[in-house]
């Protein structure tokens, strides 16, 4: 495996962790819309970290998601809970970014943060096992 892409994978994992911390801070300060945005992007950075091991990347989020689901979820390399979180957070982030009436509930964001923590752990474990 190309060392450059191992570096990309680790940088993207670190970005996911940083983005998750940002989501925690926004949540703690009552900014649930902002937290929803950061939660999605943390999941997105996790996906891109995994794809870096294959030296694969895409410009569009939909392409990253599609490729990731097909090559990592559908074949069981990563658990279905990862895919579920992708879908939920993608839709919520879109609503919060573009719908003036979006108002995510505190409990829903707290649940997503908890699930995000598990996905980050899964990603880190996968990277360690596959580098």
CA distance 25 to 113: 11
Does position 1 have pLDDT exceeding 80, yes or no? no
CA distance 57 to 12: 12
Cα 40 from chain centre: 5
CA dihedral sign, ordered 65, 68, 74, 80: negative
| DSSP state for residue 1 in the 8-state scheme | -
CA dihedral angle for residue 53, residue 4, residue 86, residue 72, rounded to 10 degrees: -10
Per residue in 38-58, pLDDT (tens digit) is 999 999 999 999 999 999 999
Report the chain's mean pLDDT, rounded to a whole number.
96
CA distance 25 to 10: 23
CA distance 53 to 77: 13
The mean pLDDT value for 62-87 works out to: 95
The mean pLDDT value for 78-106 works out to: 94
pLDDT band, very low/low/confident/very high, at 100 (cuts 50, 70, 90): very high
């Amino acid at each position: 495996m190309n060392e450059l892409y191992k570096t990309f994978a680790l940088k993207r994992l670190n970005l996911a962790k940083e983005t998750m911390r940002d989501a925690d801070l926004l949540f703690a300060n009552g900014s649930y819309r902002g937290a929803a945005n950061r939660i999605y992007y943390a999941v997105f950075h996790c996906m891109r970290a995994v794809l870096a091991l294959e030296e694969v990347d895409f410009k569009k989020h939909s392409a990253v998601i599609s490729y990731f689901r097909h090559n990592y979820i559908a074949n069981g390399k990563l658990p279905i809970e990862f895919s579920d979180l992708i879908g939920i957070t993608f839709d919520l982030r879109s609503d919060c970014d573009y719908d003036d009436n979006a108002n995510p509930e505190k409990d829903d964001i707290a649940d997503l943060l908890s699930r995000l923590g598990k996905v980050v752990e899964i990603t880190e474990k996968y990277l360690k096992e596959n580098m």
